[in-house]
Amino acid sequence: MENQSVNIKKTVLNAIHHALGAKMTPFAGYEMPVQYAGVNIEHQTVRDAVGVFDVSHMGEILIQGKDALALIQKISSNDASKLFPGKVQYSCMPNKTGGIIDDLLIYMMSEKDYLLVVNASNIQKDLDWINNIALDYLDLTITNLSDIISLLAVQGPLAAKSLQKLTSINLAEMKYYTFEIGEFAGIPNAIVSATGYTGAGGFEIYVQNKYAELLWNAIFEAGKEYNIEPIGLAARDTLRLEMGYCLYGNDINDTTSPLEAGLEWITKFTKEFIQSDSLKIQKENGLTKKLVGFEMIGKGIPRHDYEIWDEKNQIIGTVTSGTMSPTLKKSIGMGYVASEKSNVGSEIFINIRNKPVKAIIVQTPFYSNLNF
C-alpha cells in the first residue's frame, strides 16, 4: 500500500513539538500535537493559568478590492457591514442546500481588505467556493496566505499578563473579538487578536512563518513565571466542548443548517446571502432537528455518531461530540435530536454498546467562567 505519510504537512514548529515529547497525530492534513503532559493537565492549565496552542494549520484567505465587502456579504451569514477596522466577526458560509460549507472568522483590516480564517480541512473547498462566487464581482483579489502564516493561540486567565512584556499594545484593554497590528516580541506587523475557542480568554497571534520559532520561544520565556505550558489538540477539543462551541466536521457540516446548529445569532436576515431565503423559510416553518447539549446521568462517555434514543428505544438523533469534562468531572455531549424532544430538562438515552444510558438535555455552555 502506498505510504500516505509523505502527503502530511507539517507546521514550522513541528520539530519543537517532537522535542517536547508531544504525541503527534494526523489532523486535517497536518501532523499535529494531540497532547504533551496529558489532556486533563493541559485542560486545567488553560482554565486556571495559561497555555499555548500551535494552530498554524488553520487557513487564511485575504480578500481585497472595492467589491470585497459585497462578496463577503454574499457568502457569509453574519452581517459584515457591522465590522470596522480592528474588529473580528464569527460567521459561517451556507451552501446552496442550506448546509454549512465552513465556519470562519472575518477580520476587517481596512475598508477594502478582509482576512478570512477558515478550518484547515476546508481550505481548498472554501477557496474554490469563494472564487466561484467571486466571478460575479469585478474589483477583487483573493489570495491564499495559509502556507505562509503561523498562528499561536495563547489562552487562559493569565494570558494578558504573560504576553504584555512582549508588546506595547495594551492587551488588558483589548475587547473580545478585536485585534491590533503591531510589533510583538520584536516581530513587525504581527496580528494580535483577542479571540480563541476555549472560553478561557486570551489571544491569537498571526506572524509570517519565518518568525514562528522566535514567537514561540519569546512567549514561553515571557510566560515562565506564570507556569505557561504547551497544549495539544485533545485539550482544545475538551475546552471548546465545555463551552458548547461547534466543531466543523462533528457538530456542523454540509448537511446541517446554521439554524439547526443554534447559530441563529450569526444568521442575519437583514441582508441577502446565499440560501438566505430558504433559511428564512426554515425558521418560519420550524426546525425538524436541533443541536442540544446533554449531561450523562448513567455511566458512560458519549462518542461521535452514537445513537440518541427516547424512552422507547426509538432513535431520535445522533451524538456529534462527547467527552468526560475535565472541569466538571462528568460526561457531557452534544447532538442533534428531533425538535419536539429538544427541550432543556428532557430525558434522553445514549446508545452505548447497544444499551440505553440515561442523559438529560441541558443549557449550554456546560461550563461558565464568570471572570471572563
Burial classification of residue 155, based on how many CB atoms lie within 10 Å of its CB (0-12 exposed, 13-18 middle, 19 or more buried): buried
**Could you read off the pLDDT of 187-215 as tens digits, one per residue?**
999 999 999 999 999 999 999 999 999 99
pLDDT level of residue 7 (50, 70, 90 thresholds):
confident
235 touches 39 (CB < 8 A): yes
> What strands, in cross-sheet order, belong to the sheet with 23-27?
9-10, 30-35, 23-27
Helix H, strand E, coil C: the string for the chain is CCCHHHHCEECCCHHHHHHCCCEEEEECCEEEEEECCCHHHHHHHHHHCCEEEECCCCEEEEEECCCHHHHHHHHCCCCHHHCCCCEEEEEEEECCCCCEEEEEEEEEEECCEEEEEECHHHHHHHHHHHHHHHHHCCCCEEEECCCCEEEEEEECCCHHHHHHHHCCCCHHHCCCCEEEEEEECCEEEEEEECCCCCCCCEEEEEEEHHHHHHHHHHHHHHCHHHCCEECCHHHHHHHHHHCCCCCECCCECCCCCCCCCCCHHHCCCCCCCCCHHHHHHHHHHCCCEEEEEEEECCCCCCCCCCEEECCCCCEEEEEEEEEEECCCCEEEEEEEEEHHHCCCCCEEEEEECCEEEEEEEECCCCCCCCCC
pLDDT level of residue 6 (50, 70, 90 thresholds):
low
Q: What pLDDT score was predicted for residue 3?
A: 43
**Could you read off the pLDDT of 84-102 as tens digits, one per residue?**
999 999 999 999 999 999 9
Q: Give the whole-number percent of the chain exceeding pLDDT 90.
A: 97
CATH number, domain 4-56+148-242? 3.30.1360.120
**Could you read off the pLDDT of 271-310 as tens digits, one per residue?**
999 999 999 999 999 999 999 999 999 999 999 999 999 9
**Could you read off the pLDDT of 218-260 as tens digits, one per residue?**
999 999 999 999 999 999 999 999 999 999 999 999 999 999 9
| CATH architecture designation of domain 288-362 | Beta Barrel (2.40)
Distances (CA, A) of 362 to 52, 98, 323: 30, 26, 15
Sign of CA dihedral 54, 58, 64, 67: negative
- The residue extents of the domains of the chain are 4-56+148-242, 59-144, 288-362
Of 3.30.420.480, 3.30.70.1400, 3.10.20.30, 3.30.479.10, which CATH number belongs to 59-144?
Answer: 3.30.70.1400
In this model, does residue 142 exceed pLDDT 50?
Answer: yes
360 touches 192 (CB < 8 A): no
**Could you read off the pLDDT of 58-68 as tens digits, one per residue?**
999 999 999 99
